[in-house]
Structure 1
Amino acid sequence: MAEIIVWVLVPVLYLAVLSVYLTVAPAVVLLRGLALAAELLWGHVRLLIGVLYRRTPEFRTLPPYRPQDEDVKAYRNYFFGPGFRDLRQLLTLERRSYARTVGDSFRAVTSGQFVAPARHRAVTVPYGLTLYLGLCLGAVLALPPLAALLALHGLVLVLLTGGARLVAGTLRAVDRIVLWAKRLRTGMLCPHCFERVPYPAYDCPRATCRRRHADIRPGTYGVFRRRCECGQRMPTLLMLMSRDERLQAYCVHPHCGKPMNTDAGHMPEVVLPLIGGRAAGKTQLMAAMLLTLENAAADGGPALTLADDESDAKYQVLREVLRMRGHTLATQKELPRAHSFVLGTGRTERLVHLFDTAGERFVDRDETDALRYARAARTFVFVLDPMAVKAFWTSLEPAPGPLLDRTLASTVDPEEVYGRSVQAVAAMDAPLKRSRLAVAISKTDLLAGHGLVPNSLDDSDRARAWLSDGLGLRSLVQAMELDFQEVRYFCTAAVADEDARVDASITRFVDWCLRG
C-alpha cells in the first residue's frame, strides 16, 4: 500500500511543482533571452572598438592597408577605402562572434543540464529546455538591433565618404581656381627642362625619409593632410602650406625629375628670355638687372629674394664681376638653368625666371628646339650689339685716343640671330602677337666713351631711329614691330660703380620689362 501511495503521490507532487514552475518559466525564458541579447550587443561594441581603434591582430580578417604603389608611398585616407574595409571586417567578425556566442551558450546548457547535470535530471531537464527557449529568443531578439547598428554604421560611412569626396573635390577645384588667378592654369615652369608642371612632386619633409610623392592634392591619400609611409603628415594643397611649411618641389616629367623652386605655385610666374648672339652682352645685362633690383629693394622698392641656392651663387659671382667692371665668361652651350628670384611681398609677389642662353643656340637650327621656356614668356628681351653690325664699322669715324677693341664685338649678325630665334619661338606656338619685345642696345657705355654713339639715345624713338638710319637695320626694326604687339628700344650700359650703383639706363629698362 505504501509503495502505491509513493508511486502515485510523487508524480502528483512533481506535476504540481512543474505546473508552478511553468508559471515562472516565461520570466526565465525572457531573462535568459535578454541576457544573451545583451551579451551579443556587448560583443558588437567590443568588435567595434577592436576594429576601429585597437586594430590588434585578433580583430583583423584582412591585411591592413599599406602603400602598394611605389609612386604613392602614402596611406589611403580612411574614407577612400579603409572605411569600407573595416566595415567588411566588422561584418565578418560579427558573423563569427554571433555564431560562436550562441553556440557556446547552447553547449553550456547542454553540458550543464543534460549531459552532466549537478542535480537530478527531473529538475535539470525542464530548466534546460527553458534555457533553450530563452537562448532561441535571445538569438532572435539580438538580430534586429545588430542589423540596425551595422546598417547605421554603413549609412554613416557612406555619408562621411561622400562628404570627404565632396570636400576633396571642392578643395581641388578651389586650388585650381587659385592657380588660374595666379596665371598658372597650365602649371608651373620647371627651370631645368622648361616644361609646364601641372602639379609638382614633393619630398616627405622628414629628414630620415625623403620619400617622393607624385601628387599630394586632396583625394585618395588625404583630404587636408597626407600621411607618408613613415608616418609624417604633409599638407595636400599649395594654399595650405605656410611659408615655413613649403616643401621642396620636383619636376614630374620622367626625363627631368630635378628640383624646382620652393616658391613654385605660390605666386604668379614671369618668364623673361634674353635672346642674342654670342658675346652680345646678355649675361652682363642680366647681372645688371639683378643688381638694379637689389639696389631698389634696399632703397624701399619691391623686395628681392633669390629663389634658390644655385641662382644666388651664380648671382654673387656675376655681381662681383660687374662691380669690378670685368667681363663675364661666355654662357655655356648646355641648356640654361633659369636665374630665379622672388620680387615683391604679399599679394604682389612674383616668381621671375631669367633665361640667359648661349648665343650659339640662336643660330643653330638643331639647337633652338630646346628653348621651350619661350612658350611661357609674354615679354622677350633681344640684346643687340651694335658692334656686330657691319655698317657700324664701315661708317665708323675714329675718335682721338685708343681704338675700339673689335674683339669685344659679337660674332653673329643681329638680323640672323633675330630671324632664327623668332622662327623657333613661333614654331613653339608662343603668342608673339600678344607679347612685348624689349630691344636692349648693349655696350653703349663703351661706345659713348669713344664718341661712337649719339648722346640723344635716352628714349625709345631716338634709339629706334639710330638703329634704322644710323646702322641700317630698318628691315630688322620693321620685322620686330610686325612680329610683336609692342616693341620698346633701350640703350643700356650694363656697368656698376664701386658702390654697386648701376647705370640709370638699366633702371628704365627693368621697369618696363617687369611692368604689370
Structure 2
Amino acid sequence: MADGGEAAGAVIVGAIAVAAAVMVIWTALAATLEIFSYLVLVYYPLAALIGLLTGMACAATVIAQDLLAASTRTGRTLTPDDVAGAGTLFSDPPRGPARYFGWDRAWPRYLPFQAQRDIVDATRAATRFLTTQSARVQAECRSPARIVLYIVFGALPHAAFALSFVVFAAFLVAVCATFVLIGWLLQVLAIVLLRTTDAVIRRVFRLSTRCVTCYEVARLPSYRCVNCSNVHRDLRPSRLGVLWHRCECSAVLPTTIIRASSGALRKNIVCPYCDRTLPDGSGSRQTIQVPTFGAVGVGKTRLLFSAAIGLHEAYAPHSTRIGPLDGRSRAALDIARDVIGARKHTTKTAHGPSPVALAILVEPMRGRPVELHLLDAAGEHFTEKDGAAPLHYLHSAETLLFVIDPFSTDDMRAAIPDPAAAGLVVGDSGPEDSYSITVELLRSAGLDSTGRALGIVVSKVDDLRRLGFDPALDPDDQQAIEQWLVDRGLDNLVTRAGQDFGRVRYFLADSMGQSILDPCHPLHIVNWLAQQVSVDLLPAATVGARP
C-alpha cells in the first residue's frame, strides 16, 4: 500500500508539473501572440506611417534647404566667365552678326541653365542624406542583440522611411524639373514673340542704325554698359535674358533694339564695325542716306550744303527740332552756313577713304524722328577705276543722287573753251565715266539697282542762266530736262539710267543761296529722295507741295 501511495503521489505531482508546464507554455505562447498581434496590428502600422511621414518631411526639408542655399555655393553658380570666358557654357556661338564677337559678358538666364545645376545639386543632397542616415543605422547594429532589436523594431520603419524619402524626393525633383521645363518653354515663346515684334516694328517703320563715321549699316547695334566698360554686342532676348540682360557688373540692361536705343542705353550705342559711339537714340528712328556721286568739281558739296541750310530754314517757323547729330556734322554745318550765306566758293572735298557727311536729326512734335545723312565723297572716287570700292554705304543706300556738271559735256566744253575766263569751275571728267564706275561697283557686288531711286541733278543752273545756255528750262518738265541732256550728247547715260534704276527723276539745281521756294533749290531734291522711302521732309504749308 505504501508503494502504491507513493506511486499515486508521484503521478499526481507529475500531472501537476505537466499542467504547470503547459500553463507556463500556454501563458508564454499567449503573451507572445499578444505581443506579436500588438506589433502587427498596432506598432508596425504606426511605425510604418511615422516612417512614411518622416521620410516625406525629411525629403521636403533636404530639397528645400539645398535649393534655398544654392546661391551661397559660389563654385556652382554660373557666371559671365562660364558664358564668355574659358569655361564656355554654350558650345555654339550666338546667332546673327554677334557671332563674330562671341557671347557677351553677362549672366545667363536662371531658367533653364542655373536651374538645371540647382536641381542636380538638390538630388545629390538628397542622396547624401539618405546614405548618411543608413550608414548611421548600420553603425549602431554592432551586437547580435541590437541586430535582433533592429530586425524586430527598426527594419520596417526604416524601410518605410527610406522608401518614402526616395519616392517623395523624386517627386519633388520631378515637380521642380516640370516647372523649369514649363518656365523654359514660356521663355522661349516670349523670346520668339519679342524678337519677332522688334523686327516687324523696325521693318514697318524702317528703323535702322547707320554709323555717321564709317557709314556701315548695323543690323545689330552694340551697347556699352551703363556702369562699366563692357560692350554688349547682342541685347536681343536670348539665353542671357528675356526682358533684361544682366551685365557682369550686375547692371540691368533692357532687351530689344527699340527698348535699348530709346531707353536707358540711348547714349551708350556703339557701332559694331568701328566701335565709335553713335548719336543718341540711333536705331530707334528711320535713317535716310543721301549718297552723292559725280566727278570732281561738279558741285556735290555745295548742293548738299545748300540743302542742309534750306532744311533748317524750312523748319525755322515750326516747332520741329532740327540739328546736327554729332560734332563733325556740327562743324560741317557751321561751314555750310558760312559758305552759303556769304556765297563763298566751296572748298574741294578732301580725297580720303571716308566721305564728309552732314548728319541731321529732324524731330517733329508729332510724327516720328528721322536721321538724314548727306554723304559727300570726293570726286576722285568716281573717276578712278575701283575708286568707289571703299564706299560701302553705296551698297545699302535706297536712293542715290548723281550730280552732272553741264559744262563738263563735250558740247559745252566746245562752246566754252576757256571756262576760267567765264568764271567757271568745270568738272574734270565726263558724266558718263562717273556714272559707269558707280553702277559697275553695284553690279560687281551683286546688288540689284532696279529697286532703287536715282535723282539726276543738272547743277550750276545759275551759271547756265548767266551765260545764256538755259533756254527757259522748267524744273518740273522732266522730258524737257531729259531732252536737254540728250542734246548735249548724254543720250546713252539717259537710256542707261532708265534701265538701271527703278525710279529716275531729273532736277535742275541752283545752290547759290536761292529761296527755298525756288523749285531749283536743292532742298526739293533731297525731299524727293526722302519721299522714295516714305518720308516727307518738308512742311507743305511752308514750302508748298513739290512733285
TM-score normalised by L of structure 1: 0.80
1:100 paired residue number: 132
CA pair 48-216 structure 1, distance change in 2 beyond 3 A = farther
Post-superposition shift, 1:152? 1.3
Please list the CA deviations of residues 67-105 of structure 1 after superposition, one character each: whole Å capped at 9, or x if unmatched: 332532111111242121111111111111222244446
| Equivalent in 304, 308, 311 of residue 286 of structure 1 | 304
1:118 paired residue number: none
- Cα distance in 2 for residues equivalent to 1:261 and 1:438: 28
- Superposed CA RMSD: 3.9
Q: Output aligned runs, 1:45-124, within 5 Å.
A: 45-55=60-70, 57=72, 62=76, 64-68=78-82, 69-70=84-85, 71-72=102-103, 73-104=105-136, 107=139
- Cα distance in 2 for residues equivalent to 1:45 and 1:322: 81
CA pair 392-151 structure 1, distance change in 2 beyond 3 A = same
Post-superposition shift, 1:204? 1.7
Letter in 2 for 1:375: H
| Equivalent in 158, 176, 181 of residue 204 of structure 2 | 181
2:264 paired residue number: 245
Is 1:506–2:522 an aligned residue pair? yes
Q: Output aligned runs, 1:69-468, within 5 Å.
A: 69-70=84-85, 71-72=102-103, 73-104=105-136, 107=139, 126=149, 129-183=152-206, 188-206=209-227, 209-241=228-260, 243-247=262-266, 248-253=268-273, 256-300=274-318, 304-333=322-351, 334-336=353-355, 338-343=357-362, 345=364, 348-396=368-416, 404-406=422-424, 408-449=425-466, 453-461=470-478, 462-468=480-486
- Give the SS at the match of 1:369: coil
CA pair 172-67 structure 1, distance change in 2 beyond 3 A = farther
- Cα distance in 2 for residues equivalent to 1:62 and 1:397: 84
Post-superposition shift, 1:178? 2.9
- Cα distance in 1 for residues equivalent to 2:511 and 2:239: 53
Greater Cα offset, 379-388 or 32-41: 32-41
Please list the CA deviations of residues 269-291 of structure 1 after superposition, one character each: whole Å capped at 9, or x if unmatched: 43321011112221221122222
- Give the SS at the match of 1:328: coil
- Cα distance in 1 for residues equivalent to 2:59 and 2:216: 55
Post-superposition shift, 1:361? 0.5
Letter in 2 for 1:512: W
* Contact 2:386–2:437, Cα closer than 8 Å, also in 1: no
Please say which structure displays the higher CA radius of gyration. 2
- Cα distance in 1 for residues equivalent to 2:337 and 2:356: 18
Please list the CA deviations of residues 366-402 of structure 1 after superposition, one character each: whole Å capped at 9, or x if unmatched: 322222222222322111222333533532599xxx9
CA pair 104-338 structure 1, distance change in 2 beyond 3 A = farther
Post-superposition shift, 1:151? 1.4
Which structure 2 segments of 5+ residues have no match? 1-20, 86-101, 535-547
Please list the CA deviations of residues 432-458 of structure 1 after superposition, one character each: whole Å capped at 9, or x if unmatched: 333322222223234545555445443
Greater Cα offset, 437-446 or 24-33: 24-33
Post-superposition shift, 1:139? 2.1
Post-superposition shift, 1:11? 12
Which structure 1 segments of 5+ residues have no match? 1-7, 116-120
Greater Cα offset, 221-230 or 128-137: 128-137
- Cα distance in 2 for residues equivalent to 1:48 and 1:14: 48
Letter in 2 for 1:227: R
Greater Cα offset, 212-221 or 341-350: 341-350
2:5 paired residue number: none
CA pair 15-137 structure 1, distance change in 2 beyond 3 A = farther
- Give the SS at the match of 1:438: strand
